[in-house]
Chains A and B, each alone.
Chain A
Amino acid sequence: MHCSKACEKISAYLDHELDSELSQQVAHHIGQCDDCREVFQDFQKINATVREWPKIELAPDFARQLGRMVEAKEGQATGRLSVPWPLWRFVQSFIRLLDATRYSSAQTLDEFNDFPPFSMGYIYFKLLDQSGRG
């Protein structure tokens, strides 16, 4: 096997993506050729760096928030109320704010629901109430 061919396959070799015959050829070549062995070792070092690539994390209650959102959306799908998606993103921030209220008291939210029909507040409480009962 020539260097040029071996060099092209070292990456796939490292990833265990070659069939056994080709894999053996590359392994044999790396064993004998300093240049190609250096390429292989460099690729291993690059893998180590890729593993160190900074990661981000989501809020600890991300899953719970999403669960609540889909529940509310389900209510929306089966109910009479139709709210466009961008509004949902907006409403979501309110849901987070009012979590405590909703979960600490089992009573209905009707007492708060004195907004004019189809105002933001009306729609929000309507949804909250529906999802609470769903």
Chain B
Amino acid sequence: MVVIKRQSPAAPGGNESASMEDIDFNTIKAIGRGDRSAFELFVKKYQNPVVNFIFRYVRDRFTAQDLTQEVFLKVFQGAGEFEPRGKVSNWVFTIAFNLCANELKRQKRRGYPYPDLSLGDPAELECPAHDQAGTRKKELEEDLMAALDRLPENQRAALWLRVNEDLSYLEISQVLNISLAGVESLIFRARKQLRQLMRGRNGSSP
């Protein structure tokens, strides 16, 4: 599993440093010159983060694979004109996000059956008591996982980028093209909704 190089914990106000990712900048420059092996190395580094970010959006494995391919072709095409304003990884996620947004628009236009994204009333999610705490815990984890997939797509994506890719709120705001406060709100709402489910299942809602 390829992991995106991590920055030290985001400073308040999230000051971006380009120097942290010089390796990626050099790679992008090489790709811009048409260096195929640099391109392949770059793809190897980012293919898993990208395909899983997209998968969080489109929730279909094959669509995610196709879109990932398109992301890297766009990277190849755009590498020559890339301007080092932010991190290279942000640029890649932004390309992925734009493709996802288009794909979701296209799906909605075509009237693809879209699953209900609401989590429902937490009170309704209460289950009969089980004998074993272990069983209940496992079921709760499964329910939480299912609930994650039912969050609105931007909440899923923001939570994923924060927790699994360690992007700062500022970086997420650039990828999703929303305000900083918007990112905070997306992630907070996602967690609040998931917590309601946890508490509902435990039967000890405050």
Binding site for B on A (CB under 8 A): 8, 11-12, 15-20, 23, 35, 38-39, 42-43, 45-47, 49-58, 62-64, 66-67, 69-71, 73-74
Q: Does B4 contact A (CB under 8 A)?
A: no
A20 to B12, CA, bound (A): 8
Chain A residues in 8 Å Cβ range of B61 = 56
Q: Is the CB of B160 within 8 A of A50?
A: yes
Say which residue of A8, A38, A57, A67 sits within 8 Å of B39 (CB atoms): A67
A17 to B141, CA, bound (A): 27
Q: Which residue of B lies closest to A57 (CB)?
A: B48
CB distance from B111 to the nearest CB of A (A): 22
User: Could you tell me how many residues of chain B have their Cβ less than 8 Å away from some Cβ of chain A?
Assistant: 49
Say which residue of A18, A39, A58 sits within 8 Å of B47 (CB atoms): A58
Q: Is the CB of B34 within 8 A of A49?
A: no
Q: Does B37 contact A (CB under 8 A)?
A: yes
Q: Is the CB of A15 within 8 A of B12?
A: no
Q: Does B139 contact A (CB under 8 A)?
A: no
Given the interface contacts A56-B52, A67-B39, does A42 sit within 8 Å of B198 by beta carbon?
A: yes
Majority secondary structure of chain A interface residues (helix, strand, loop or mixed): helix
Given the interface contacts A15-B169, A51-B163, does A46 sit within 8 Å of B145 by beta carbon?
A: no
Q: Is the CB of B148 within 8 A of A58?
A: no
Q: Is the CB of B163 within 8 A of A47?
A: yes
Q: Does B83 contact A (CB under 8 A)?
A: no
Q: Is the CB of A71 within 8 A of B145?
A: no
Chain A residues in 8 Å Cβ range of B65 = 56, 58
- A to B CB contacts below 8 Å, 25 in the list: A11-B191, A12-B187, A15-B162, A19-B12, A20-B12, A23-B12, A42-B195, A46-B144, A50-B159, A50-B164, A51-B164, A52-B145, A53-B148, A54-B145, A55-B55, A62-B43, A62-B47, A63-B47, A66-B39, A67-B36, A67-B37, A67-B40, A70-B73, A70-B76, A74-B34
